[in-house]
Chain A
């Protein structure tokens, strides 16, 4: 297989979905329901990524106390709810994870 052809085609199918809506912005008018649906994209996609990264470790669902990613996520969730501050949430989550790794 021609590796550079593969890269060129991969680049194309990666770039087009990133660029097309940007290019059409201001030119096409999306239907109102679609606009409303798109508002949910950050919550929907980022939460899906969080779930699959924190709760699925090494390809299997892990909701045991041995899953430090999940515990750190839980702490981060609580801190985010209380403070709504990004920086504090990250520091609390990472500190929790580091302590679990060091002391347990």
Chain B
């Protein structure tokens, strides 16, 4: 059950709905970059080296508005503070990994891979083979992000309307299937409720700052409501 190959496969399988949801966004990203006159090398290079959907879209938007380079970099940094929370959340589970594996796997820490890894930790705490599961999810996400970007760039303005299919619903229901079983304590429910309301109220804040704000607010509320003594 816990052979590397099996874990690699499981990690990819659990990520499948999230890959389906992200695919149209990769296509739209590629097409948008093409329409803006970005070269194929730069477009594919950004997906390959940066590998962060929201950051890449924000960079395109800012490029279109002729924003200065430091503004773009600073904005991208703020958007990525979400990933800092993910990485910190996983610290206890990677502390036995060799540094080179941490350095390699950290590169692939997207919303999607964090979600499925976090789900596995919730359902099978302490089960071996986490890094293989993580790698399976990571490589699946990565390869399809490259593929969708290339496809979008090649199709350019001839996008087949894939973005209108609403495939992002797959991400919504998958995340719900991951979050709900993690709601154990009253503090967990309070955290989720605050995140829900706050994220809706702050949806029009620029550059996903509402997402970051709502997450931090929900964490603070969860903290305040949990009375268990600290472990470890």
Contacts and interface: CB of A to CB of B under 8 A. Distances in A.
B175 to A, nearest CB: 5
Given A8-B49, A14-B52, A42-B118, 4 more contacts: A6-B73, A15-B107, A17-B80, A84-B181
B214 A36 contact: no
A80 B49 contact: no
A73 B173 CA distance: 6
Interface in A49-101: 49-56, 59, 61, 68-69, 72-73, 76-77, 80-81, 84-90, 92-94, 97, 101
The listed residue with most B CB atoms (<10 A of its CB), out of A13, A15, A24, A77, is A13
A19 B173 contact: no
> Main secondary structure on chain A at its contact with chain B?
helix
Interface residues of B, number: 94
Contacts of A104: none
Contact of A4 (B42, B77, B103, B231): B42
Contacts of A102: none
Contacts of B69: 1, 5-6, 9
Contacts of A52: 199-200, 203, 210-211
Contacts, number: 279
A88 B176 CA distance: 11
Contacts of B35: none
Interface string B198-224: 111001100000110011101110110
A80 B182 CA distance: 11
Interface residues of A, number: 70
Interface of A: 1, 3-11, 13-15, 17-26, 30, 32-33, 35-56, 59, 61, 68-69, 72-73, 76-77, 80-81, 84-90, 92-94, 97, 101
B172 interface: yes
A24 B92 CA distance: 10
A51 B195 contact: yes
Contacts of A42: 89, 114-115, 118, 122, 178-179, 182
A41 B93 CA distance: 15
Contacts of A39: 89, 222
Residue among A10, A53, A76, A90 having the largest count of chain B Cβ atoms under 10 Å: A10
B39 interface: yes
B147 to A, nearest CB: 19
B72 to A, nearest CB: 6
A33 B90 CA distance: 16
A44 B200 contact: no
A46 to B, nearest CB: 5
A56 to B, nearest CB: 4
Contacts of A53: 168, 171-172
